[in-house]
């Protein structure tokens, strides 16, 4: 019996040992399986941080505003004063800048008529010839045209200054002469007269009638 009991006990121990070994092997196998599992590293999410786009604002020069445009200084037009214009006109007239017979002022007409009257009254042919513009018409011998001062001087004072002409010019009113296309007629209203007008911007004798 003891021998059987010992054998039974020994068998139980062997079984127990066998069971223990199996359990240990299973445990080791399990651990081995666990260890064999390759731990996959967590995927590293690489966030490609794109550099922030730099907004390059092209600095455009500020537009010129209407106020700035208006502020620009514009030179004011120079206005000629009436007094300056009158002075300029007198200077032109004194230098012989008349456009026609109608642009001559009364004082200039009176002054020139006075010179003509003085030369006729004195029978000063040279002074009279200096006041004429050539060619000049003279109503002698049916009418003729004198081309130069010398031709008038050659006629002689007595031929040019007739009694009728001298009387008519002496009686003429130099303050009441009116312009016309032909000029100004210096006479007492008769056919004997001295005609003068604007020639090349100046007053000059242009005709002598008897």
**In the chain, domain spans:** 98-209
Please report, for the chain, how many H helices and E strands are present, in that order.
8, 5
Cα–Cα distance for residue pair 121/151, rounded to 1 Å: 21
Q: What is the pLDDT of residue 28?
A: 46
Mean pLDDT over all residues of the chain?
A: 74
Considering the entire predicted model, what is its pTM?
A: 0.56
- The CATH code for residues 98-209 is 3.10.450
Cα–Cα distance for residue pair 92/103, rounded to 1 Å: 11
Residue 122 has pLDDT above 60, yes or no: yes
What average pLDDT score do residues 173-188 get? 96
């Amino acid at each position: 019996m003891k021998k059987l009991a010992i054998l039974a006990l020994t068998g139980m121990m062997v079984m127990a040992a066998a069971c223990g070994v199996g359990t240990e092997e299973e445990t080791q196998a399990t651990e081995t399986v666990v260890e064999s599992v390759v731990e996959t590293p967590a995927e590293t999410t690489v966030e490609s941080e794109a550099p922030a786009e730099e907004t390059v604002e092209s600095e455009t020069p500020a537009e010129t505003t209407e106020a700035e445009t208006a502020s620009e200084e514009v030179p004011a037009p120079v206005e000629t004063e009436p007094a300056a214009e009158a002075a300029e006109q007198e200077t032109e007239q004194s230098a012989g800048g008349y456009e026609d017979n109608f642009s001559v002022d009364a004082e200039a007409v009176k002054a020139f008529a006075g010179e003509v009257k003085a030369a006729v009254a004195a029978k000063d042919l040279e002074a009279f010839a200096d006041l004429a513009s050539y060619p000049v018409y003279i109503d002698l011998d049916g009418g003729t045209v004198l081309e130069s001062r010398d031709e008038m001087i050659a006629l002689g004072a007595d031929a040019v200054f007739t009694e009728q002409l001298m009387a008519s010019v002496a009686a003429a009113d130099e303050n009441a002469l009116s312009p016309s296309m032909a000029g100004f007629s210096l006479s007492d209203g008769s056919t004997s007269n001295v005609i003068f007008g604007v020639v090349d911007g100046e007053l000059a004798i242009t005709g002598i009638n008897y």
